[in-house]
Amino acid sequence: MNKILVIVGPTAVGKTSLGAKLAQEYHGELVSADSRQIYQSLDIITGKDRPRGVKVWLLDVVKPDQKFSAADYFRLGWEAIENIWRRGKLPIVVGGTGFYLKALLKGLATIGVPPDWSLRKKLENCSVSELQKKLREVDPQRAQRMNESDWQNPRRLIRAIEVAQKRKTVFAAEIKPYHGLIIGLTAPTKVLYERINQRVKERLQIGAEKEIKALLDRGYTWENSVLGETIGYREWRGFFEGYESKTEVIAKWQFAEHSYARRQMTYFRSMKEIHWFDITEADWADKVEKLVKDWYI
């Protein structure tokens, strides 16, 4: 049976580095599962890595003002995996967007349900509690199944309401049989926050501010693109509009990344099939290597 190796974990934990190393050892190619590296020109702040000598799929797929959904990711992700399989290589899915990973590996009941823009407009000003109440009314079972992260996420709640009202289920018949292994990287909170803070500083040094200015100069705005909803970009709005200092931006950016890492771990902890490794342990890489070798043979 064809194999898929998956590497998950919070931001700044070293997923891509591990994926590149394993790709070189096991004749593999990476498939990005990052919901922001999908976008062209969002390079520095998203940490769009291109390891030398390793092909990476699903980077730079759409422009910053284009819509891209988990259903789109499901379709393109499986196209990439099947292409890799046909050439006798190992797909290594790497990323921290849990919803994309779940869609890719398990299918998504909402695939094929198109966005209802009028409904989204109607619901966009509702509070989280109002959306929760609405979802309980239209689909109490879905409301009960949602994890805590999604239950507090207005976008996820609106999408669940949208799907419930469409009353349309599409099963994931397109998923091909595969033998998968999921590796999770983690670290103590203090260590993770330090890594995040350091990475923010590095991205400032290599041109984060210039990257945003270039996007704004090309006509992308906080409203007409993903800039206004993407961590590391949206925090700069006050600076570019003249009412916040760069120091405030950096603090907000780091705090937002910390919060995102916590949400990622909450999501991934619900996936019981993940084999977790703490990157602060001296022998974690050796343990990963043994697990992958035993699985791959």
CB 1, CB 178: distance < 8 Å: yes
Q: Which of 90, 38, 43, 44 is nearest to 69 (CA)?
A: 38
Q: Which of 19, 21, 25 is nearest to 6 (CA)?
A: 19
Q: How far is the C-alpha of 140 from the C-alpha of 144, rounded, in Å?
A: 6
pLDDT tens for residues 150-182?
888 898 899 889 888 875 444 444 678 899 999
| Strand-pair partners of 94 | 7, 32
- The predicted model scores a pTM of 0.82
Q: Is 292 helix (H, G, I), strand (E, B) or coil?
A: helix
pLDDT tens for residues 127-154?
999 999 999 988 887 888 787 778 888 9
CB atoms within 10 A of CB 30: 29
Distance spanning both ends of the chain, measured CA to CA = 12
Q: What are phi and psi of 8, to 5 degrees?
A: -125, 175
pLDDT tens for residues 35-82?
999 999 999 999 998 999 999 999 999 999 998 988 889 989 999 999
Q: In what order do the strands lie in the sheet with 56-57?
A: 56-57, 28-32, 90-94, 3-8, 179-186, 275-278
Most distant CA pair in the chain, distance: 58
